[in-house]
Structure 1
Amino acid sequence: MELQIVMDLERQNGRLTRDFVSSPSFSEVVRAYVPSMRVQPATIEVFSTTHGSSYGSTSAATQLATLRESIRARNHLYLPHEIEWVQRDRSYAATRFSILDPKTGLGSSGQLNVTLLFGFSPDLPFPKTFDEFLDVVMLAKSLEEVGPNNNKLRVSISVGAAVIPQRLAEVCVPMDVGEDSGKVVGPLQRIVGYACQPNAPVDIIRAGLEDTPFRFDPENGMSLATNEDLVADTIHEMHKHGYLPLTNKDQVFETLHAGAGLGRYREDMARIAGEIERTVPAPQGFVRAQ
């Protein structure tokens, strides 16, 4: 939904380049923005086999109202804030807009998880070098400096390989870093290898049939897979690069900075309990605990 808002911004202001979105001028655009009421097709160019580029017809005004309501609902339920990137520049613009616009309030919880779906579209292509991968990761990580009320936002990064089988041949190229340097690897192996580099600030590796619905190795090529297979492959690749998956709930919460929502929940429950204590009389025959 947020990409429809960005496309409306582009119709009003021209193409939103990465440099412009990063500049103070973009804040002025956000403040002056009035979403269009005109219903238009929501279509973006993606790598898909069956109508994956069509997101129906709607207006930017409807999409913005829906986005704001979704974030309010997440706050009400103490859920962490998150957003998926399917295009680099437009997704960056949509995220920055949603943070800067006080009525939208993305990241108002103090945290934000950004999921980068590499290979989803021509504007977020699957990386063939670590530098290409790191460029997008650092762009998402730079959102930490755009926190609401000038407070630093805590951003966690998730990465996934969104590669359809028809595009497998072009993404299977020799690895340029790490344990597999020089070897031809599949998309899942590449994403894990890049995420495990010491200077890659990645928190989560996303794997499953929704993204890359197959296994690949240079000797046997592509084969069918289950979600269990893909998770096992991911853990195997992590081990190869010296990493173990986090399984401790508290550590996971800390990594995702989800404690912000938990802290708000505890504060709100304590406040509500205090209000009940002050306003609701104790039943006769009982003494209120001190």
Structure 2
Amino acid sequence: MGGQVGSDGGVMDRNGDPDLATRVFVDHRRLLFTVAYEMLGSAADAEDVVQETWLRWTDVDLDTVRDHRAYLVRIATRQALNRMRTLSRRKESYVGSWLPEPLLTAPDVADDAELADSVSMAMLLVLETLAPVERAVFVLREVFDVPYEEIADAVEKTPAAVRQIAHRARVHVAARRPRGTTSAAQSRAALDAFQRAVETGELQGLFDILAPDVVVLADGGGIRKAVPRPVVGLDKVVRLLAGGLVKAGSALSAEAAQVNGAPALLLWQEDDLHSVVTLRIDEDLVTGIYFVRNPEKLLRMQQQHAVGR
């Protein structure tokens, strides 16, 4: 593959224009990142998968490729599956609760309800309960509508086996995903109550929207203080919030943001991003409160990530 290297790492032809391989890759980059992120729950690892996909793509003879999108998705899926093994070992030794790495997303992501749901913190936590191949099959089929034959190539299974895996994963996810749909207005109202609690210490408004079996997960990664294990139940959660996580006078300020396709709160301590807070809402009540506090997972919160199909 001749030509010179452009500033973005792509190859340029003699006229200084991106060659076909670069144009195709750029056109699908957002898709590849989203596939990898939904499989891994880590933006850092997803970016590495995209880079690895590019390196392999540059060695491909495009004259032999019938469907560029399918070929790129196959490369990215295989790289993500390989990386899942490393990520699994990291999670086994992780200090405290593990939560996916949050993404600052553009407001228009919410316009695609299915995509927004698929990258939500609540859905990513459900996907964590799937085996690696099940997760890959579910993401490719249910979110990106990839044909079974193409998924079979990507995960190195027969189409019949992929259909069985897809059915099993669909049933598994359906039993665990949030019940009913939640509008942006509902999420915003719940977060407004949370923000008032942060700023004033008044918990009654928050108390009124918490489910009896509400769960708090806080991911500090052993770097920043967090609860070491899930806290379950209304009374325990209220005591936890009142005792520190949203305690008035804690010098935290709250800022509304769009995270993983839904309204969220950024908690700041002066100029330091201290936590990202997202909620799971089932049938108008908050059933999950997720605090990401690990500074290593907050490094990419300064810029929006483009996700898409």
What TM-score do the two structures reach when normalised by structure 1? 0.26
| Structure with the higher helix share, 1 or 2 | 2
Structure ID, larger Rg:
1
What TM-score do the two structures reach when normalised by structure 2? 0.25
